[in-house]
Every structure is written in structure tokens, then in C-alpha cells.
Amino acid sequence: MQTITVALDAMGGDFGPRVTVPAAVQALSHFPELKVILIGDRDLITSQLSRIGYIPNSRLSIKHSDRTISNTERPSQALRNSNGSSMKLAIDSVADESADACVSGGNTGALMALSRFRLKLLPGIERPALVSALPTANGNKTWMLDLGANVSCDADTLFQFAVMGSALAEQHLARTPKVAILNIGEEDIKGNDLVKRCSELLSETEAVDYVGYVEGDQLLHDSADVVVCDGFVGNVCLKTTEGVAHLFIDKLKSQLGSSGIKAWIARKLFGGLMDELKKLNPDQYNGASLLGLRGIVIKSHGSADVSAVVNAIGEAVHEVKRQVPSRISDRLEAVLLERHY
């Protein structure tokens, strides 16, 4: 069996080792091929390990770091001051090949800047993108990118996002994914110059199965497997989806959760529905990928709990197995060839 080593930034995220350490231990039991390097304050990590009665062994090692990057640090500051930080050491371990992938719940801008600086971009890629899978009404997934790494994009960048997103989704779906552009109407005349130009580029390529525009209200209805947009729109859209989902779930919970006969009946009747609705909240899916790099970097939600961090580690394992960066690279090469001949 191939061994897969994941470097986990143990200090990243709102809860640090209290969440990342038990998540690493759970992930080891989920994925028999996995090894984890926990990077962070050795004392804090050790005390969390002993709290859950786990003894470090050949599958779990600790790499000490006494520095963290705060959430308020700008990417440019992070680039200057990151040496020895848990996030930087996690990325370093991918660069020097002591790990196959890294996972961090820390500052997204810093993670993006450091990854780009240390791992470099794939040929043909101008900017890395943040991609994540949204749950759909029918129990499927839609991959959306960019989710906030690039606040403004040109049509070429959006085109590259489409190629990268398609290559990633294909490794999950095992079929050619349908790719759409997020727009404010389905007709050709709708939208801004960016989406119109990108639509032309996608119509001309054989590298992705482009199906046209999709609107915000169709996002969770399987109208496409991959949806591309600039990082500003993508981030607003993702957070809006999370916000509305939370609101509805909270309203329901307030009925199901209270005590008394009504709540008891409600739980009996709607326990299943509640579970189904919870699955429709995108923030249940953890593990956004930074695509376009010469290496695998997974961003975990800052507020992720133990099972969510296990999911993020799972995404890292999956991408290593399916060699996602080289799949993207192959696809980009095909596009370049197509343009030359």
C-alpha cells in the first residue's frame, strides 16, 4: 500500500490543537495509508495527545514550531515574517517532499501567498484558485471556484479556473464534468464583459464540457458540476448560501430542540428532514483546495470542528491518490497545444 503523508498545521483554525490533534488521530483510523506530521507547539500537541490517550508512533510525528501567523496579518507581512511558523513549515514539508500534501485552517491570504511563493504555480497558470464542493438538492456536489483568493480576475484567469475545476471534479465524479459560468441571466446578452469573454474562450475549447451560464438560484440544483466566477462573487455567493441555510436550520432547530411533547413529536417526525437540511449547508463540507500549485494544499475552515478537519485531511488524501496537480497540468498542456495548432 502506498503511504500518504499529510502535514497538518496544528495551530491553524480557531481552536488549534484542541481540534486538530483529535482530528489527526481520527483520520489515522479512517485512512490506513495515512501518516500525519503535526506541526505546532510540541507541549500543547503532546498534552492533547495524552488527554485522548494516544501515544505517538511511526504514523504520527510532531514537528515543533513556536510561531503562528495571525488572522489579521496581510499576505505581504506573512511572506516576510513567516519563517518558522507552523503554516510555513507545513508548506515547506510539501516543497521538500517530506509530505505529500498539507492542511491548514489558518489565514487564507497568507496560506495562498506562502504556497504560491514556496511551491510555485503550474505552467500556464497565472493565479491559484480556492475551490470547494457545495452540496446540491439531489445529494450531489457542485465545485465552485474561485471562492475568494482572487478578488478581481480577467477572462483568461476565469478560463484557467474552468480547466482546473474540471480536472478536479473529474477525479471525484469519474466522468467528464459539466462546466458553467455564474451569471445574472441565462441568455447570451446578459452579464458583464468578463463573463462574456470567458464564455467565448470556453466555447472554443475541447478541454472542458462547457454548458453556458448558470444563475444564483440554480446553483444547488445540479445544473452544472463546476461553476466558475471571480473570487469576490464566489465568496459572497458561498457565504450567502451558508447564511440562509443557517437561518432556516436555526428556525427549525428552535422548534425541534425545545422540550415538551411538541418537540418530541417534531424530532420523531422531522429528525431525518433536519439531517437532510443540515447536509445542504455548504460549511458542513470542509476542505477547500488551492488549485494551480505544484503541490497539494488544503484550506480547512477556521471554525471547523474535529469531524470537519478529518474531512479536510480526507480531501488531501484523495487528491494525493488521484494526483490532482498532474491531472491539471495535463489538461493545461492540452489547452496550450489546442491553441498552437
Under rule CB under 8 A, residue 222 binds a copy of itself: no
Q: Sketch the per residue contact string, 246 through 275, with a copy of itself: x for CB under 8 A, - otherwise.
A: xxx--xx--x------x--xx--xx--x--
Q: Exactly one of 79, 121, 280, 334 binds a copy of itself (CB under 8 A); which one? A: 280
Instruction: Tell me the CA distances in angstroms from 299 to 9, 94, 128, one per residue in order.
Output: 10, 14, 13
Selected range binding a copy of itself among 28-36, 198-206, 227-235, 303-311, rule: CB under 8 A = 227-235
74 touches a copy of itself (CB under 8 A)? yes
176 vs 255, which CB is nearer to a copy of itself?
255
Q: Which CA distances in Å does 221 have to 136, 179, 300? A: 6, 14, 25
Residue 220 engages a copy of itself in binding (rule: CB under 8 A): yes
Rounded to a whole number of angstroms, the minimum distance from the CB of residue 221 to a copy of itself is: 7
Smallest distance, Å, CB 138 to a copy of itself? 11
Q: How far apart are CA 191 and CA 213, in angstroms?
A: 9
Nearest approach, Cβ of residue 246 and a copy of itself (Å): 7
Work out whether the CA dihedral 31, 32, 34, 40 comes out positive or negative: positive
- Asked whether the beta carbons of 245 and 281 are under 8 A apart, the reply is yes
Least distance CB 168 / a copy of itself (angstroms): 22
Instruction: By CB under 8 A, tell whether 243 contacts a copy of itself.
Output: yes
Q: Which three cell numbers stand for residue 272?
A: 431525518
- Under the criterion CB under 8 A, does residue 114 sit at the interface with a copy of itself? no
**Near a copy of itself by CB under 8 A: residue from 61, 81, 218, 323:** 218
Cβ neighbours, 10 Å, residue 141: 18
The alpha carbon torsion through 49, 52, 57, 58 (nearest 10 deg) reads -90
Answer for which of 231, 292, 314, 325 binds a copy of itself (CB under 8 A) is: 231
**Contact, 66 vs 84, CB < 8 A?**
yes
Considering only 99, 103, 163, 182, the residue that binds a copy of itself (CB under 8 A) is: 182
What gap in Å lies between CA 184 and CA 217, rounded to an integer? 10
Compute φ and ψ for 44, nearest 5 degrees: -60, -40
- State which residue, 62 or 238, has the beta carbon closest to a copy of itself: 238
Question: What are the DSSP calls for 284-340, one per residue?
Answer: GS--EEEESBSSEEEEPPTT--HHHHHHHHHHHHHHHHTTHHHHHHHHHHHHHHHHH
Is 241 a residue that touches a copy of itself (CB under 8 A)? yes
Omega cis (within 30) before 146? yes
Binding-site ranges for a copy of itself (CB under 8 A): 72, 74, 137, 148, 151-152, 182, 184, 187, 189, 191-193, 215-221, 229, 231-233, 235-248, 251-252, 255, 262, 265-266, 269-270, 273, 276-277, 280
